[in-house]
Amino acid sequence: MDEFGIIAKYLKPLARTPGALGLSDDAAQVAIPPGNELVITKDAILAGVHFLETDPLDLVAKKLMRVNISDLAAKGARPFGYFLACCWPKETRETDVADFARGLAEDQSVYGLSLLGGDTTPTPGPLTLSMTALGLIPRGQMVHRSGARPGDRVFVTGTIGDAGLGLKVARGERLGLSEADLNYLLGRYRLPAPRLEFGLGARTLMLASIDVSDGLIMDAKHIGETSGVGMRVEAEKLPLSPAADGWIKRGGSPTVLATAGDDYELCFTAPSASISQLRAVAEKTKTRLTEIGEVLRGSGVAFIGADGREIAVPAPEPTYFRAGPF
């Protein structure tokens, strides 16, 4: 099927907002409600780099959408639309495109956004997918990386390290775990769960926020560098899933979990006075929330073990290469 056939059959049904103009024009027309600002983020994923070439394409589509929505969640923005670019290898089958479009359609319904436009093109290289996601936020309320202050607390949602272990599972490692645990970890790698509702509910409480894509320690460092502060993170306070905890008990290292990427949880800072309100948002949105450390004067991230000594953190090994935002 050629480019125009793909657009007509599989992508046009995803363009559900009037501003997309039925994908019949060269651009979309986006109206921003009064009192709001536009938040824009972009992520690209490549077969063999960001996902396995054997991964089901409906899950690949959802991962592409969710890593973008995770960025919007960290900023406190509600998604409403996206642009899509797909570079399809010549051996791509129409059923592959159909699976990919089905994954997008399912997640559009979950997260309430619509395709606005984009491009499709053949490529001799691996499957390459890029999404630009648009979100709305009340004027002046976007949560930046630069708001952390000495004395504030450091928090993280969900559990840490699951996706890194999930990549090991995808590559054939058994990790000494049960089949149920292996399936759980693989699912966490293949299908992130962006903390959108928590990000929206905690938008006015978070002072600095980032989604955990490069690994908890590295992303905490990103906040510290942008804010001009240091951080202390307690290894004993890392929130772990039963599967990750089981791996630790079999000799695994918490440092591996704290430096693995792809978790797509939120790491953020907030003052101690906001803790009760944050707990209320977490309870309302059914989000696990853990205080893992504090913001300090200085620079860098100190990863502290149970004995009070700093744990040496090696150069990060994210689950895939990310050059980071620019």
Residues 163, 133 share a domain: no
216 CB neighbour count, 10 Å cutoff: 27
pTM: 0.93
Q: Give CB contacts under 8 A, 24+ apart, made by 307-316.
A: 311/235, 311/254, 311/255, 313/217, 313/255, 313/258, 313/259, 314/255, 314/259, 316/214, 316/215, 316/217, 316/218, 316/259, 316/261
- Of the residues 113, 138, 163, which one is the last residue of a structural domain? 138
Between 242-249 and 162-170, two packed helices, what is the crossing angle to 10 degrees? Answer: 80
Q: Is 81 among the domain residues? A: yes
Could you tell me if 297 and 168 lie in one domain? yes
Q: What is the chain's pLDDT, residue by residue, as a tens digit (326 residues)?
A: 788 889 999 999 999 999 999 999 999 999 999 999 999 999 999 998 889 999 999 999 999 999 999 999 999 999 999 999 999 999 999 999 999 999 999 999 999 999 999 999 999 989 999 999 999 999 999 999 999 999 999 999 999 999 999 999 999 999 999 999 999 999 999 999 999 999 999 999 999 999 999 999 999 999 999 999 999 999 999 999 999 999 999 999 999 999 998 999 999 999 999 999 999 999 999 999 999 999 999 999 999 999 999 999 986 554 444 444 44
187 found inside a domain: yes
Q: Which domain holds residue 64?
A: 3-138
Residue 166 falls inside a structural domain = yes
Q: What is the pLDDT of residue 318?
A: 47
Residue 193 belongs to some domain of the structure: yes
How many independent structural domains does the chain possess? 2
Q: Identify whether 239 is part of a domain.
A: yes
Q: What's 46's domain CATH number? A: 3.30.1330.10
Q: Is residue 176 located within the same domain as residue 297?
A: yes
Query: Could you tell me if 44 and 111 lie in one domain?
Result: yes
Please answer whether residues 235 and 254 qualify as being in contact, where contact means their C-beta atoms are separated by less than 8 angstroms: yes
**Cα-Cα end-to-end distance for the chain:** 35
Q: Quick check: 71 and 133 in contact, CB under 8 A?
A: yes
Determine contact, residues 288/17, Cβ cutoff 8 Å: no
Q: Report residue 240 CA to chain centroid gap.
A: 18
Domain with residue 246: its CATH number is 3.90.650.10
User: Are both 115 and 232 inside the same structural domain?
Assistant: no
Q: Are residues 197 and 222 in the same domain?
A: yes
Same domain, 112 and 188: no
Do 98 and 180 fall within a single domain?
Answer: no
CB 268 within 8 A of CB 155: yes
Question: Domain for residue 312, yes or no?
Answer: no
Residue ending a domain, among 105, 138, 171, is 138
With respect to residue 318, please indicate whether it lies within any of the assigned structural domains. no
114-123 sheet: strands from edge to edge: 36-46, 128-138, 78-89, 114-123
pLDDT at 324: 47
Q: Are residues 134 and 163 in the same domain?
A: no
Is residue 106 located within the same domain as residue 18?
yes
**CB-based contact 126:51 (threshold 8 Å):** no
The verdict on 18 and 110 lying in the same domain is yes
Residue 75 inside a domain? The answer is yes
Query: Which residue, 138, 169, 196, sits at the end of a domain?
Result: 138
Query: How many other C-beta atoms can be found within 10 angstroms of the C-beta atom of residue 182?
Result: 20
Same domain, 235 and 159: yes
Host H or E run for residue 183: helix 179-190
